[in-house]
Amino acid sequence: MIVVKPTLDIILNPLESLGRFSRLLFHAFGAVSELSIYRKNLWEQMVKIGVDSLPIVTMAAGFSGAVTTVQTAYQLVTPLIPRSIIGAIVVPSMILELGAVVTGFILAGRVGARIAAELGTMRVTEQIDALESMGLNSIGYLIVPRVLAGIVMFPVLYVAACFVGIGGGMLIGDLGGFVPAEEFMKGAREFFQPFDPIFGVIKSLVFGFLITSISCFKGYYTQGGAEGVGRSTTQAAVASCVFLLLADLVLAATLL
């Protein structure tokens, strides 16, 4: 019996969380019809999630592109391989992987933690109960705008990250003498696949949904005062990153 209960908990706890998560999403989608009430909130969240994240996302993407260029050049020291191959590697890397994943990790930390802390604090200070007691659908008011803002703004950030990342890679390649800008772009064009950006946008939509919905879930069901808020915030960031990596693998395996 001493062994059975912890074993059962290991199996049942994630299942219980999945059930509660599904129920939360079900209620959230049910509240989409009342979006006109929450329109102002949606706009605020789009600014907080999208516009406010733009500087850090573009900075990280720029450095990722630059570092990828430098490391690719370092590995291709043989004169038998044309330098334009650097552009052919860096650009798809940004579009297929780095643009979405770097943005995802930054948003998991910046946006995911903020959402969980905000909703967690509202829960422990009875602000969510206050919304409910007024007759408002708290899930509709708090969660739908955040998840929709994530789904809408993540692809925008992804596109910005790709442009800045590719630009950063090209600039460092040119300034550092690794590959001239024209050759970098020549390589990028030669190996460009039209499906790559579509795949990137699909990925960013999925990541946007995962990060915001997981963080909302963790924050909305916070228990236990300030310590509980801290726990929810950490769990939101960690769970978002883990599910982001998992989704990355699943999408690559199924769509590419």
Q: Does 121 engage in binding with other proteins (CB under 8 A)?
A: yes
Amino acid making up residue 210: L
Tell me, what DSSP letter sits at residue 52?
Answer: G
Residue with tokens 């969660």: 143
Q: Least distance from C-beta 119 to other proteins, angstroms?
A: 12
Q: Does 71 engage in binding with other proteins (CB under 8 A)?
A: no
Q: Which of 29, 32, 71, 126 binds other proteins (CB under 8 A)?
A: 126
Q: Does 37 engage in binding with other proteins (CB under 8 A)?
A: yes
Q: Does 132 engage in binding with other proteins (CB under 8 A)?
A: yes
Q: Name the residue among 194, 196, 166, 192 with its Cα closest to residue 181.
A: 166
Q: Which of 83, 127, 171, 191 binds other proteins (CB under 8 A)?
A: 127
Tell me, what DSSP letter sits at residue 81?
Answer: S
d(CA 194, CA 252): 16
Q: Could you tell me how far CA 33 lies from the centroid of its own chain?
A: 25
Q: Does 136 engage in binding with other proteins (CB under 8 A)?
A: yes
Q: Does 134 engage in binding with other proteins (CB under 8 A)?
A: yes
Segment interacting with other proteins, rule: CB under 8 A, options 81-89, 97-105, 122-130, 153-161: 122-130
Q: Name the residue among 87, 83, 47 with its Cα closest to residue 65.
A: 87
Number of residues that bind other proteins (CB under 8 A): 14
Segment interacting with other proteins, rule: CB under 8 A, options 83-91, 93-101, 121-129, 245-253: 121-129
State which residue, 75 or 133, has the beta carbon closest to other proteins.
133
Q: Least distance from C-beta 28 to other proteins, angstroms?
A: 13
Q: Does 52 engage in binding with other proteins (CB under 8 A)?
A: no
d(CA 35, CA 53): 24
Whether 13 contacts 176, CB under 8 Å: no
State which residue, 26 or 195, has the beta carbon closest to other proteins.
26
Residue with tokens 């800008």: 181
Q: CA end-to-end span of the chain, whole Å?
A: 47
Binding interface with other proteins (CB under 8 A): 37, 121-122, 125-127, 129-130, 132-137
